Amino acid sequence: MSDEQNWQAPGSSGSGNGPDDAPQQPPQYGHPQYGQPPQPPQYGQPQYGQQAPYGQPPYGQQPPQWQQQPYGQQPGGPQPAWTPPPKPGLIPLRPLTLGPLLAAPFQALRRNPRITVGAALLLQGIPSIVVTVVIAGAIAFLAGRALSGEVEDQPALRAGLIGGSIVLGVLSLVVTSVFSALLQGVIVADVARESLGEKLTFRALWQVVRGRIGALIGWTLLYALAWIVALALVTAIVIALATLGPPAGTIGAVVVGIVGGIGLIPLYIWINTKLIMVPSIIVLERLSLRAAVARSWRLTTGYFWRTFGIVLLVGVIVYAITQTIAIPFAILGGIVGGVFAPTSASSADPMAQALIAQLGVNVISSIVTAIVGAIGSVIQTAAIALLYIDLRMRKEGLDLELVRFVEGRQTGQELPDPYLPPAQQPAQPPAGWPAG
């Protein structure tokens, strides 16, 4: 057989074992096999010799690099997708919106009730109950003496009743302020560590707060004293004008009383909002009292109305919950008082019997209110601590430091306290504070 008889067209099947017998690749576009008609182009592909549609590269050219990558990815390989900020504990480590700011304080009660509820009862509930019972007993004793005394001794007894009530009120304010400051310190430290996914014991929290107790108590007493002095100053001016007699003195006293009383309200709102971060700064940044006041003033600059609105909203929610629980007990206390003093109207000393019944009502209502109010104080303090963390995230990038701390802790690194300013960070964490 001649070579011409053995010749076969390229691409045809043959019986030989040469390289032409290997299976051929399917024809590529623009390169038809010899002896076969070209394949029609697919839809959207340019024909040979024609201009490519808009957006398509010319024939034989590769598309540009940016067209070869999926949308949102850079050349050089796929990029990692966006992931939300980590949430190791109480809050996500990013600037907070209204939802987390309102929900997180209540979650703090649920996540660590032994600390939150226990500290509320130990540091505020029980002292408030003891102070209420002592004051009620002292006032009942002084009132009983004033009511049963001789006529000629009535002025002195009434003056003693008024003076004793004032002293007891001041004592109650001091005791309440001291224990309220201690509660604030513990809750602020607990919320700060819960935000990082840590759950400390009361002993560990107390070791953290112990060095800041003096500054906390001093701030609470000075702040309360400043407002007492302001109120007393307005009252003194009103009394001084009233002693001048009508008509100028009376009119002046009324004007000063109205203007001064109404003027103190916006002044209190403004100053309280600007200085509301002082306890959190004292505990977490470990600054002095004067530095903490200046720091709180700067930190709330530009966020006054947001801070005021959230604090007011949380206060309204806590007040509504407190009253919802306390009012039924107050009604029950009135019924109990009537049961224990049913013959007050017909007794020999009806005033004393009515006073005893009313004191019993007040004690029962005050006990319930103290317990519920202590838990409400935890919620409000936790909300303020979260606002402090949120402001530092927004103004100073604290969220990056917290994320770095959490990631370093997962790898076993010992990092300083992330809440301390860079200039305040020690080489080793403070005593009682988890290292990493």
**Mean pLDDT lowest among 122-126, 152-156, 190-194, 201-205:** 152-156
The pLDDT, as a whole number, for residue 129 is 78
Residue of 267, 181, 283 lying closest to 222 (CA atoms): 181
φ, ψ dihedrals at 28, nearest 5°: -95, 155
Residues 225, 227, 231: CA angle, nearest 5 degrees? 115
Q: How far is residue 339's CA from residue 255's CA, in Å, rounded to a whole number? A: 47
Contacts 24+ apart (CB under 8 A), 258-264: 260/234, 261/234, 264/230, 264/231, 264/234
Longest dimension (CA), the chain: 155
The predicted pLDDT at position 176 comes to: 81
Annotate 29-48 with b (16+ C-beta within 10 A) or e (fewer): eeeebeeeeeeeeeeeebee
User: What residues have CB less than 8 Å from 397, skipping those under 6 apart?
Assistant: none
Mean of the per-residue pLDDT values of the chain? 77
Give me the mean pLDDT over the 36-60 stretch: 52
Segment 63-121, tens digit of pLDDT: 554 444 444 455 555 555 666 778 888 899 999 999 999 999 999 888 888 888 888 88
Cα–Cα distance, 100 to 95 (Å, whole number): 10
Residue type, 98: L
Hey, how many other C-beta atoms are within 10 angstroms of the C-beta on 229? Answer: 10
Per-residue pLDDT tens over the stretch 390-427: 999 999 999 999 999 999 888 888 888 899 886 666 55
- Is it the case that residue 206 has pLDDT exceeding 90? no
What contacts 77, CB < 8 A, 6 or more positions away?
none
Whether residue 211 has pLDDT greater than 50: yes
**DSSP assignment of 109-163, as one string?**
HHH-HHHHHHHHIIIIIHHHHHHHHHHHHHHHHHHHHHHHS-GGGHHHHHHHHHH
Residue 4 has pLDDT above 80, yes or no: no
Residue-wise pLDDT for 244-279, tens only, equals 877 877 888 888 888 888 889 999 999 999 999 999
Find the mean pLDDT for residues 29-33: 50
Classify residue 196 by its DSSP letter: T
The answer to whether residues 181 and 217 touch, using CB atoms and an 8 Å cutoff, is: yes
In 187-319, beta strands by DSSP E: none
Report H helices in 2-96. Answer: 3-6, 65-68
pTM reported for the whole predicted model: 0.71
C-alpha separations of 279 from 161, 275, 333, 428 in Å: 36, 9, 36, 23
Band (pLDDT 50/70/90 cuts) for residue 19 is: very low
Q: State the Cα–Cα distance between residues 436 and 420, nearest whole angstrom.
A: 15
Q: What is the pLDDT of residue 122?
A: 84
Please give the pLDDT value at position 431: 47
Distance CA 372, CA 319 (A): 10
pLDDT of 347 > 60? The answer is no
Enumerate helices (H) and strands (E) in the chain, giving the number of each: 14, 0
Asked if 104 and 316 count as a contact pair (C-beta separation under 8 A), the reply is no
- Higher pLDDT pick, 336 / 258: 258
pLDDT > 70 fraction of the chain, expressed in percent and rounded? 69
pLDDT at 72: 46
CA–CA gap between residue 87 and residue 89 (Å, rounded)? 6
Q: What is the DSSP string of 370-411?
A: HHHHHHHHHHHHHHHHHHHHHHHHHHH-HHHHHHHHHHHHHT
pLDDT of residue 53: 52
Residues facing 28 on adjacent strands: 31
Which of 166-175, 177-186, 360-369 is predicted least confidently? 360-369
**Binning pLDDT at 50, 70 and 90, where does residue 149 land?**
low
Q: Which two tokens stand for residue 341?
A: 């003093």
Q: Do the beta carbons of residue 21 and residue 14 sit within 8 Å?
A: yes
- First-last CA distance in the chain: 89
Confidence of residue 2 (pLDDT cuts 50, 70, 90): very low
